[in-house]
Structure 1
Amino acid sequence: MMLALSPRPVDEPTVLMLQASPIAVACGFPSPAQDYYDGPIDLTEMLVDDQEATFIVRASGHSMTEAGISDGDELLVDRSKRPRDGDVVVAVLDGQLTIKRLQISAGRVTLKSESAEHPDVAVPELSELVIWGVATFSIHHLRRP
């Protein structure tokens, strides 16, 4: 999975007239007794820990579909977070950008695909690997423009 667009910073807060805090919404028959709040919310406040270190990138390809990341989805990527085993990361391996799940085991690093059709990448010792950032959220499009 490669990046299709240059990352762009999360700059101004996005304010929408939605729920003030996330609520659970049933996918079945809606309850007419449900209380709704229609005040403004700030998505940046809800989703971003470090605004200056957070970028939006667009995923391209199908190697991360089992992680819930589809072709064309946008990812919030935080460059201030220290990558941990199991994180979905934007990695630069020998100059090539990719989105993969980071696996660190017994001193070895593997960039794991989340699709049986795409191979994992065992990072060779002499390769240059830079973790560009840690993906914190995926924005999955239900309606394409």
Structure 2
Amino acid sequence: MSVTILGPLSEAGEKLPLYSFQVPAGFPSPAADHIEKHISLDELFDIRAPHVYLAKIEGESMQDAGIFCGDLVIVNRSLNAEHGDIVIAGLNSEPICKRLHKRDNTIILMSANSKYPPRYVMEGDELIIWGVVTYSVRDHGRS
């Protein structure tokens, strides 16, 4: 799985309506009297530039975590990566997206797809955590 860093996000996006009812997977007709409030995607995704950036995911090694090839992930580099977090990292200068596992003094970068083996960080490897994935965004557009 590879990662393409797209760059930082800027704050102060346009506010969009948030409807107060649950939306079924059918075709509801959202009426203006159901608007609870207006929110921005900045608020929804807790974007506080310059600590947040976008990355595009390539590959299928994280699909069981709900991150698919072509998805954008929102990455917060101000968070300390904890055991179990999905991170964007550089392992020996290779950009990757994996789940961070810390076991005793061992660091393992786990895929979320059984087709891909875990990557153990060995002595002499250079691991740099570039940030913690907080959200993913998928394009459901027509091909």
How would you bin the TM-score normalised by the shorter chain?
0.7 to 0.9
TM-score, normalised to structure 1, is 0.85
Partners of 2:77 and 2:132 within 8 A in 1: yes
Unaligned runs of 5+ in 1: none
> What does residue 113 of structure 1 align with?
111
> What does residue 9 of structure 1 align with?
8
Partners of 1:18 and 1:37 within 8 A in 2: yes
What is the alpha-carbon distance in structure 1 between the residues aligned to residue 107 and residue 121 of structure 2?
A: 6
> What does residue 123 of structure 1 align with?
121
- Helix, strand or coil for the counterpart of 1:114? coil
| 1:15-65 deviation line (CA, Å, top 9, x unaligned) | 2432067x64333685999x6207532111221253210001100010000
> What does residue 139 of structure 1 align with?
137
- Over 3 Å counting, the alpha-carbon distance change for 1:42 and 1:121 in structure 2 is same
Partners of 2:11 and 2:49 within 8 A in 1: no
> What does residue 56 of structure 2 align with?
58
Unaligned runs of 5+ in 2: none
Partners of 2:88 and 2:129 within 8 A in 1: yes
- Over 3 Å counting, the alpha-carbon distance change for 1:15 and 1:79 in structure 2 is same
Please give the residue correspondences for 1:2-41 in structure 2 after superposition, counting only pairs within 5 Å.
Answer: 2-3=2-3, 5-19=4-18, 24-27=22-25, 36-37=34-35, 40-41=38-39
- Helix, strand or coil for the counterpart of 1:18? strand
> What does residue 88 of structure 1 align with?
86
TM-score, normalised to structure 2, is 0.86
What is the alpha-carbon distance in structure 1 between the residues aligned to residue 30 and residue 9 of structure 2?
A: 36
Partners of 1:50 and 1:80 within 8 A in 2: no
Could you tell me the percent identity over the aligned residues? 34
| Amino acid paired to 1:109 | I
| Amino acid paired to 2:64 | E
